[in-house]
Structure 1
Amino acid sequence: MGSLADREKRRSVVGSMVSEMPKTEVEYKNPTYKVRVDTFRKVKMKALEEGKHDYEIVQAALDAYLEDR
């Protein structure tokens, strides 16, 4: 298992990916933000089609995010 700091960082990354609406219009126009949200939505839709649980969806989204970095 990872350290508490690692888990907090992962939770922070997932939290930022899960946000449905951007906080500001500037943030919405940020290409990195748009790609991140689009990636999450695609991963989430695929996971839902496969009948995965919420925690599996979050893990799949986090894995996809970390692969993109």
Structure 2
Amino acid sequence: MRGDSWTESYLRSDIMRESVIYQAILEEGELSAKLTSIPRLLVLGLTREQIAQALDLEIEQVPQVIEGQN
């Protein structure tokens, strides 16, 4: 019985680790999508502040993306 408990515990920790990795990748993808939206929103006439608010970003991130594209 002890072996089964250890195996279950090990498998759970392995699943959690994969879940953390999955979450990190998901968050990275979400951030990437937000950052690629910035130029489009500028073309539509939104201010940097409006873009940051709409995309739930820090205001400092918006000009960094804009300057990175020039």
TM-score above 0.5: no
**How would you bin the TM-score normalised by the shorter chain?**
0.3 to 0.5
Higher RCO (CA < 8 A, seq sep 6+) = 1
